A and B are shown apart, each in its own frame.
Chain A
Amino acid sequence: MSHRGSRVLRLDALARVEGEAALHLAVRDGTVTEAQLRIYEPPRFFEAFLVGRGHGEPPDITSRICGICPVAYQTTACQAIERACGVTVDVPLTELRRLLYYGEWIESQSLHIHLLHAPDFLGHPSAVELAREHPAAVERGLRIKQAGNTIMEQLGGRAIHPINVRVGGFYHVPTPAELVPLAERLRRAHDDALETVRWVAGFDFPDVAYDGPLLAMRDPGRYAIDSGTPAVMAAVAGSDGATPVRTLPVEEFERHVVEHQVPHSTALVSQLDGDHYLTGCLARYAISGRWLHPSALDAARAAGLGDPATGAVCRNPFRSIIVRAVEVAHAVAEALRIIDAYEPPSRSYVAVPPRPATGCAATEAPRGLLYHRYAMDADGTLTLARIVPPTAQNQAAIEDDLRRQVQSRLDGPGEPPGDEELTALCERAVRNHDPCISCSAHFLDLTVEHG
């Protein structure tokens, strides 16, 4: 069988990603006809069993959707319910919430960079083998990751499924003295994070570009994580040469982001106004890069990402590892800022009395924009829950990326690629987007392909 001819390639289990998925690629006469990320995680029905629960329960329950980004679920659920109840949580508490979220960012992004993603660039199957060749880099990564986990443990009670988050705030707020050991660890992590940016910037990157629209939260003046409004950066530059960014009020999110079923995946595929799109670190960096912490801005410039202060955008999914490293540096610096300025609030939470209403919210999970909507009746019993996780939104863009990368390799010079090479290329293309498959499949429509 000619490598330029027709063939079908399957990879039954995708490694070094969170959750489980397979790849399916069909090539007919040298043209990629199918490129599928087959998410086969079984459904867990979260949206169904949230109905009938109390309005204080979503932070604990939805955190169980994902062990790798529970704070994203907790924060988004809290904000959606607070909004439904017309309650505003004031500044000391929102800063603490952000600190916890930064802890998750630091932990989750360092995990992806060092344990899941970097082995691809250095030709190793896992961080264990990578550590034999680059022990300092892996140990440094584990140290940064541990700094993130320490924030989660101190402020949240534990690193996975924190117990200290409630609608309206926290059960317990720390004393400044309790945060001191965190600050010491974070100062070291800041140096480590900048060193990681330099390390990953030295990897070899294929020259490819994702050319679709980008979606991320936008909050002028701040690199948005848990605040702002969903914003879309268009795929192409306008007549003035600048790439236009438009915002969508979060209340209109579901009017623009429409999900549909595909036969090969338990996750729905989202479209934004009829087009595939990318959410996640590349989108955040494009939309908020200019508002990074100064040390992270400098690191981004030095790493060859251009100058985010003047609107530089990175569209190469392989270079997402640099953007993630820059985001870790930013998160560490911001976490330090919050700790240094911390004065304990007079109360650990704001009361959130229920009322018959609907509320929605979106925040930036490490893997991209996460949207929740809840409706409740007068006593706070939930009558509806809707959750749109980032990986489901990215699925169409990931498949488009797969198709283009494989086609480009098939059309390129040199020997036609063998199955092993194509498989490795596809796996890398998927891993670039750090998919969180457990999240994406827990709610979404599952169809079984027959035949």
Chain B
Amino acid sequence: MEPDPRPSLAVWKFASCDGCQLTLLDCEDELLPLTDRVRITHFLEMSSAEDSREPATLAGTGPYDLSLVDGSITTAEDVRRVHHIRRISRRLVTIGACATAGGIQALRNFADVEEFRAAVYADPEYIATLDTSTPISAHVPVDFELRGCPIDRGQLLEVITAFLAGRKPNISSHSVCFQCKRRGTTCITVAQGIPCLGPVTHAGCGALCPAYGRGCYGCFGPMAQPNLEAMVRELRHDGMTERDIVRVFRTFNAASPEYGPVPELATQQAPEPPAEEEPR
């Protein structure tokens, strides 16, 4: 029998909502054509084929040409599993905020996990979970990180086709503001004084929220080199309190190291004078 010439693709899941791997199934127009070009060898949500079921703890059917990893690391077993997946993957790409930044479950990183356990669990002593939720890159080398909570379907297809072609994905790391301008959306902060994280947030969603009359809430995480000092000052100016500012950064990419200075910045900066006295 001729060997299958198609490169193999594996999809793995750790702690997550499944939304980023679901994005692949949401490629309704592209899903079947894609399977002409890649062999989807391991994707539990999609296939019950034996290959798909091969437990990652065994040296199974790898190597995989491209592994997509959804979800963050929150258990000791998952630490072992991600190392194994790295060993059997030629290229490893993280998809989404959980795999790339620890996800919303990384809010535990700022809290006393014992209190979290006690708040949620009747018998907290039985919970097998780590005190932290960490991105995949904290454990193994990663070839590319695709941002977003959830990822963008178009960007996912770009990443897959780029890796299949052996080139770098064409994914910009500029801010949401660029996409707003490109979309022709009037700046909602300038025009309406609505607080918006667009200036410091990684592009990729297509600048959705401002187009719907809502400030960006940062679900794609930080852009490259965000100017947080200026951002926090602007959020203050637009009426956000210290608590609001800390909360808005502590969501789906809460553990991104770029956001580290936010609480201190929010505390340090005195509220701006009222808007009408501030020339814009």
A43 within 8 A of B: yes
> Does B93 interact with chain A (Cβ within 8 Å)?
no
Q: Chain B residues in contact with chain A, CB under 8 A? A: 13-20, 22-23, 25-26, 28-29, 31-32, 35, 40, 43-50, 52-53, 55, 74-75, 78, 103-105, 107-108, 111, 115-117, 119-123, 126-129, 149-150, 205, 208-209, 211-214, 217, 219, 244, 247, 251-252
Is A348 a contact partner of B213 (Cβ separation < 8 A)?
yes
Would B46 and A445 count as touching, CB distance under 8 A?
Answer: no
Q: Which of A44, A116, A171, A447 has the most CB of B within 10 A?
A: A44
Q: Are B126 and A446 in contact (CB under 8 A)?
A: yes
In whole angstroms, what is the CA distance A222 to B193 when docked? 42
With A17-B45, A64-B149 known to touch, is A163 a contact of B212 (CB < 8 Å)?
A: yes
CB–CB A15/B44 < 8 A: yes
State whether A42 and B19 are in contact (beta carbons under 8 Å apart), knowing that A15-B47, A48-B120 are contacts in the complex: no
Which among A66, A67, A443 is the interface contact of B20 at CB below 8 angstroms?
A67
Closest 5 CB pairs of A and B: A67-B19, A126-B47, A15-B48, A125-B49, A447-B126
What are 21 A-to-B residue pairs whose CB atoms are below 8 Å?
A16-B44, A16-B45, A48-B117, A48-B119, A49-B107, A53-B247, A61-B104, A64-B17, A67-B16, A67-B18, A67-B20, A116-B45, A119-B48, A128-B47, A129-B49, A159-B26, A161-B219, A171-B209, A445-B123, A445-B126, A446-B127
CA distance A361 to B220 in the complex (A): 30
A20 to B43, CA, bound (A): 12
- Tell me how far the C-beta of A64 lies from the nearest C-beta in chain B, rounded to whole angstroms: 5
Q: In the complex, what residues of B have CB within 8 A of residue A261's CB?
A: 122-123
Please state if A45 and B108 are interface contacts (CB–CB under 8 Å).
yes
Q: Interface on chain A toward B: helix, strand, loop, or mixed SS? A: loop
Q: Please report the C-alpha to C-alpha distance between residue A13 and residue B214 in the assembled complex, in whole angstroms.
A: 41
Contact A13 B149 (CB under 8 A): no
**Within the complex, which residue of B55, B108, B121 is in contact with A446, where a contact is CB–CB below 8 Å?**
B121
* In the complex, residue of chain A having the shortest beta-carbon distance to the beta carbon of B130: A42
Assembly CA distance A125 to B123 (angstroms): 39
A92 to B155 alpha-carbon distance, docked (Å): 35
Which residues of the partner chain B approach A438 to less than 8 Å between Cβ atoms? 16-18
Chain A residues at the B interface, C-beta cutoff of 8 Å: 12-20, 41-49, 51, 53-54, 57, 60-61, 64-68, 70, 107, 111, 115-116, 119, 125-129, 131, 138-139, 142-143, 145-146, 149, 157-161, 163-164, 166, 171-172, 261, 348, 427, 438, 443, 445-448
Kindly list chain B residues whose C-beta atoms are within 8 Å of the C-beta of A126: 40, 43, 46-49, 52
- With the chains together, A107 CA to B46 CA distance in Å? 15
6 additional contacts (CB under 8 A) given A48-B111, A115-B46: A49-B107, A61-B104, A68-B19, A163-B208, A427-B48, A445-B123
Task: Say whether A45 contacts B47, CB under 8 Å.
Answer: no
A60 to B213, CA, bound (A): 16
Bound CA–CA A166/B215 (angstroms): 12
- Asked whether A157 lies within 8 Å of B40 as measured between CB atoms, the reply is no
Choice from A51, A65, A107 contacting B119 with Cβ under 8 Å: A51
A residues near B205, Cβ cutoff 8 Å? 158
Known: A125-B48, A160-B23, A261-B123. A42 touches B40 (CB 8 A): no
Chain A neighbourhood of B53, CB < 8 A: 12-13, 15
Let me know if A48 and B116 touch, CB within 8 A: yes
A149 and B28 form a contact (CB under 8 A)? yes
- In angstroms, Cα B122 to Cα A142, docked, is 42
**Contact A157–B28 (Cβ < 8 Å):** no
* Cross-chain contact of A42 among B22, B74, B212, B214 (Cβ < 8 A): B74
- Chain B residue numbers with a CB within 8 Å of A16 are 44-48
Whether A60 pairs with B49 at a CB distance below 8 angstroms is no
Chain A residues with CB under 8 A of B107? 45, 49
Does B55 lie within 8 Å of A42, measured CB to CB? Answer: no
CA distance A16 to B150 in the complex (A): 20
Q: Are B35 and A18 in contact (CB under 8 A)?
A: no
Give the residue name and chain of the B residue nearest to A44 (CB).
B105
